[in-house]
Amino acid sequence: MKPGLRRRALLGVVAAASSQARAMWAPLSDAELLRDSDLIGLGMWLGQTQLQTGPQAAPLDLGVLQFSELWKGPLGLRLALVRSRAAQAPRSSSDLVFQPGQQGLWLLRLEPGAQGLYRCEHPQRFVPAGDAHIEVLRRLWKNQAG
């Protein structure tokens, strides 16, 4: 096989393999999202930081969300901590990465075993600001709550 053809064949195999390695997310219904979320609200991702809880503890990477409107969660909550991936960590296709200033509807779950710490482990748990789906979810939430 000629070197050019071999290179193209290799690139084709790599491309096919990488498409199989992408994260696969099972779709969640709107009702599931609303029911299974512990914290729901409109907010902005302020950024993330690393927290060391003790000399022997592994560092914890946390994102900070500021809420402007809370639908579900602790009364009066304005800030929430969200488990995040280290900024310098290698990325995987299953990682959800947010940028400072990113706004929208957040549908978060409590981190198991951690009081007051949340997680956003599925792409449907964040709906960007301006997306019409926010109003669909708002109507559904009001119908369920009322």
C-alpha distances in Å from residue 24, one per residue of 31, 89, 95: 21, 21, 11
If residue 81 lies in a helix (H) or strand (E), which one and from where to where? strand 79-83
Report the CATH fold assignment for 30-145.
Answer: OB fold (Dihydrolipoamide Acetyltransferase, E2P) (2.40.50)
pTM attached to this predicted model: 0.77
The domain ranges of the chain are: 30-145
Per-residue model confidence as pLDDT tens digits over 94-130: 668 899 999 999 999 999 988 899 999 999 999 999 9
